[in-house]
Amino acid sequence: MRLRVLVGFGSTINMSTVGSLAFQKTRRLISSRDFERVKQNGHSVSGKFIVLNVFDVQNPGVSRIGFITSRNVGSAVVRNGVRRRLREIVRRRQHDLRDGFWIVVIARRGAGNASYSTLEGELLRLAKRASILL
């Protein structure tokens, strides 16, 4: 199936040629066993608002990412807001990540008060320190 989007006044963009920005389920870490594997076998890089755990998987494929926001971050509303912001940052930057890694993003206590741009800057800085950016 070929997707086409109407841009305006009859011009269209072929969406099959544009890289997908969807954060697909194949790119997510979901099971607790996977999270534990990253924690046990990977290495971590810490910042003020985020801790990044990275595990280099033996069989290269797309990088998979999971998020942890504990009760230390704040109420359920605050935790969900932080998780949504982090997921959006990763969704927009997923094509900048190297393949073959499992990544766990852990929000720290102050992340609930941090702005989107602050979280994005810190996540990119930590990703560069962990050598997972292209």
pLDDT digits (tens, 9 = 90+) for 85-129: 999 999 999 888 899 999 999 999 999 999 999 999 999 999 999
Q: At what angle do helices 76-93 and 116-129 cross, to 10 degrees?
A: 60
Checking if the pLDDT of 61 tops 90, the result is no
Domains of the chain with CATH codes: 23-129 (3.30.230.10)
List, for residues 74-94, the tens digit of each pLDDT value.
999 999 999 999 999 999 998
Contact criterion met (CB below 8 Å) for 85 and 111: no
Residue with tokens 């702005």: 115
**Tens digit of pLDDT for each residue in 35-46?**
999 999 999 999
C-beta separation of 43 from 102 below 8 A: no
Query: What pLDDT, on a 0 to 100 scale, did the predictor assign at position 94?
Result: 87
